[in-house]
Chains A and B, each alone.
Chain A
C-alpha cells in the first residue's frame, strides 16, 4: 500500500510546521529523518489520521485518511507518547487491541504479536511496572496485532537499550522485506541508515531530501566541511593547504586554522601528507560544523 502526500502543509496559527510537502511512501522501510522540531511528528500524525492537513491531501491508496476510521484496518500506529493503559497487563492491552479490531481469533493474534516483540515473559505484568523499552515493545505488539499492511512508528527506538533496539530493527527490516509499508521517524542518522532502504529528510518543515540512504549519505559527506586545526606552525600549514584545490578557503584565527574543505575525501588524505612534507606538527583537527543541524541545513540549501 502507498501513502501519498500531495502539496501538504500544516500550520498552527502563524507557525508553519509542515511546508508544501509532496512524497510517496511505498512498500519497504522508509526512514523519516530530521532534527527535533522539523515537522516529523506533524507529518506522521497526518499520515496516521490524527491531524488534518491545512492544505493538500494525504491518502492511502487513493482514499482520504483524515476522518476515515476504516483506514485503521490497514494501518498500525506506534505513537511516541507512552500511550498504554498502566493498569492493564501487557496481555490485556494487546488483546483489547485485537478485540477492538474484531479479529476472528483475538487470543491467537495477541499471542503472536506478543511473541513477535518477545514480551511473553512479562505479558502478565501490569504495564505500569514495565521499563520504557518494554512499554515501547508492547505498543509495537498492539500496533501489529491485526497484521497491518502499513506501520507508522514515531521515534520508535527512543528509550530502548541496544539489544531491544537491534531486535526491533530486525523486526522492522523483516516486515519491510515482506512487502509491508513501514515508515519510522528518527533524528538519528545511524538508526535510519541501518534500517531504512529509503530516506525522507525533513528540515524546518520542508522536505529537504529524498532517496536511497547511500545517496543521501554521500551528499552529506560531500558537502563543504569546515575544520579547525591547531599545529606547531599554522601559517606554514595554511600556505601548504591553500595550494591544493581540495580546500577553498583557509584563514588564520585566534583558535588556530580554519579550513574550508570542498572535497572531503581528498582533503582528509591530503592533510597529514602536507603537514609531514612541510615539517609541521598537527596537535588537533576538529570539525567545526559536524552537528546534525548544519548537515541538514546544507541539504536544504542545496535543494532549494
Chain B
C-alpha cells in the first residue's frame, strides 16, 4: 500500500463526475427497495429476487467495471501513470494499492447499499441482508481485481468488461449451467446463500468451490496486474 498513490486514485475517482456513476446505481437499488416496501411487496422472495437480479446481477459488475478500470485505465490512456511508475516504488505495490482503492469503493458503493436495501425490505429475516452484503463484498473485491487487470492489459477494458458481464454472466450463465461455475456473480450468490438461511435462495455451486475460485481469481489478478506493470511500456507515436 502506498498512501500517496491511494490518495491520488481516490481523488481521480471521486473528485470528478465519475462519482455520480458510482452513486447512481446504489440510489436506484435503494429506491427500488423503498418502492417495494411502499406498495407492500416487501417479502422475502421479493428481497431475494431484487438482490439477485439487480444488486448482484447488475449493479455489482457495473460498479466493478467503473471502479476497477477507473483506478488505472484513464491514467494509462493519458500517460499520467508515468508519474507513478517513474518512482522507486515496486510496481506490484502500485497494483496492490490500486486494487485496495477499487475494492474499498465497491465495499462502500456496492456492499453497504446492498445491505441497506435488503435490510429495508426484510430486516434481519433469514440473514438475507447479511448474506447479500457478504456476497456483494466478496464479489465486489473479485470484480475490482479482475477489471483492474483488464484496465492494465487492454485499452478496450470497458468493452470487454461489459461483454463479460452481459454475455457471459448474463446470457450464457443463465442458459448453460456449466458456465455458472466460472462466473463471479454466481460465486457472490453462493456466498450469500451460505450466510443466509432463506429458502428462496439457492445456487448450484458449493461454497468450497466458490470461495477458492474467488480467492484464486482475486489474488491471481492482482499478481498478474503487478507483473504487467513491471513490464509497462511507453510506445511513442513513431
Contact = CB atoms under 8 A, between A and B. Distances in A.
B178 interface: no
Contact of A99 (B4, B81, B232): B4
28 contacts: A12-B235, A17-B238, A39-B238, A41-B237, A42-B238, A45-B236, A49-B86, A51-B234, A67-B230, A69-B85, A70-B88, A71-B88, A72-B87, A72-B88, A76-B86, A77-B86, A79-B79, A82-B78, A83-B81, A84-B80, A85-B8, A85-B11, A87-B11, A88-B8, A93-B83, A96-B8, A96-B83, A97-B87
A33 to B, nearest CB: 15
A48 interface: yes
Interface in B5-23: 5, 7-8, 11-12, 15-16
Given A17-B238, A52-B233, A82 B90 contact: no
B235 A51 contact: yes
Given A67-B231, A100-B4, A48 B238 contact: no
Contact of B233 (A39, A50, A73, A88): A50
Contact of A100 (B5, B16, B238): B5
Nearest to B16: A87
A70 B2 CA distance: 16
Given A96-B4, A100-B2, A83 B83 contact: yes
Interface of B: 2, 4-5, 7-8, 11-12, 15-16, 78-91, 230-238
A65 to B, nearest CB: 12
Contacts of A129: none
Contact of A69 (B4, B5, B88): B88
Interface residues of A, number: 41
Interface in A18-65: 36-39, 41-42, 45, 48-52
A41 B2 CA distance: 30
Given A36-B238, A41-B237, A42-B238, A77 B82 contact: yes
Interface centre among B7, B230, B233 (most CB of A within 10 A): B233
Closest 4 CB pairs of A and B: A41-B236, A81-B79, A50-B234, A100-B87
Contacts, number: 95
Contacts of B234: 45, 48, 50-51, 79
B88 A101 contact: yes
A83 B12 contact: no
Contacts of A88: 8, 11
A142 interface: yes
Contacts of B232: 50
Nearest to A41: B236
A52 B235 contact: no
A81 B80 CA distance: 8
A97 B231 contact: no
B87 A101 contact: yes
A70 B230 CA distance: 12
A75 interface: yes
A85 B83 contact: yes
B88 A73 contact: yes
Nearest to B2: A100
A81 B89 contact: no
Given A69-B87, A84-B83, A99-B4, A51 B233 contact: yes
A50 B85 contact: yes
B233 to A, nearest CB: 5
A38 B236 CA distance: 11
Contacts of A84: 80, 83
Given A52-B231, A83-B78, A100-B5, 12 more contacts: A39-B238, A51-B234, A69-B88, A70-B88, A75-B86, A81-B82, A83-B79, A83-B83, A85-B83, A87-B15, A88-B11, A100-B89
Contacts of A51: 233-235
Contacts of B79: 79, 81-83
Given A41-B238, A72-B87, A100-B4, A83 B233 contact: no
Contacts of A37: 238
Nearest to B83: A83
A79 B82 contact: yes
Nearest to B232: A50
Nearest to A154: B236
